[in-house]
Homo-oligomer: A and B are copies of this chain.
Amino acid sequence: MTEFVVTGIPGSPYVRAPLLVLEEKGVPYRFDAIPFGAQRSPEYLRLQPFGKIPAFAHGDFAFYETQAFLRYLDRVVPQPAFTPGDARAAARMDQLIGITDDYVRGRVSGAVVFPLGLAARLGIPADQDAARAALPAAAHVLSVIAELLGDQTFLTGDTLSLADLMLVPHIDYLPSCPEGQALLMAEPNLAAWLARMQARPSMQATSWERLLETTGIKMPEPVAA
């Protein structure tokens, strides 16, 4: 089988989601890790003209946009299938993928978890007061997701879907700061879902630490607290 290639920066939720799907599919792939900042290099801009990570290739077919890659993988490697056969369950999957892109990315990861939990690790100064002011909006996003999850095992029912694999890299970072941990604990069914997801070998194979270890990419110097 032709190798799948993911190019991106270890630690990004948008890099981890495709790696998770590849691990879950059990297909051969290569992760071309680049260091933080290299997404603006001329070489990388040839893969993704907006300088956003990740970018993808499969043989001579090169493209980008994480959702496009996840859906492509589910088409060209049909088993195990991560798109529900039932049209309503598939629509919930697409809705939750949309919620991840439209609200979790900005209001949870961007506004709260990155500045409070991750920025220091990357040597990036962050406005912690603004991040704390954003906590109610982040809590609202998580409450909406927790309501859609309900008492199901996975976001769209009894089986894993692309929505779980798209969302979990964001939720897995919540415990990186006390405020994020508190947000998670406020939604017990979401916390239980995260624990179930964390038990999967795919999650362990794609953690920030593991990717740094296997790729040899160096972290920037941390900033003083």
Contacts and interface: CB of A to CB of B under 8 A. Distances in A.
B94 A49 contact: no
A198 B107 CA distance: 36
Interface in A59-80: 61, 63-69, 71-72, 75-76
Nearest to A98: B65
A91 interface: yes
A32 B88 CA distance: 21
B76 A87 contact: yes
Given A49-B140, A49-B144, A140-B49, A91 B68 contact: yes
Nearest to A63: B95
A99 interface: yes
A52 B102 CA distance: 10
A61 B140 contact: no
**Chain A interface residue bracket vs B:** 20 to 34
Given A71-B94, A90-B71, A91-B71, A99 B65 contact: yes
Contacts of A63: 91-92, 95
Interface string A87-117: 1101110110111011100000000000000
A140 to B, nearest CB: 7
A95 B64 CA distance: 6
Given A65-B94, A65-B99, A72-B91, 10 more contacts: A50-B141, A61-B91, A63-B95, A64-B95, A65-B95, A65-B102, A68-B91, A68-B97, A69-B91, A72-B87
Contacts of A94: 65, 67-68, 71-72
9 contacts: A49-B144, A50-B103, A50-B141, A52-B102, A63-B95, A67-B94, A68-B94, A72-B94, A75-B90
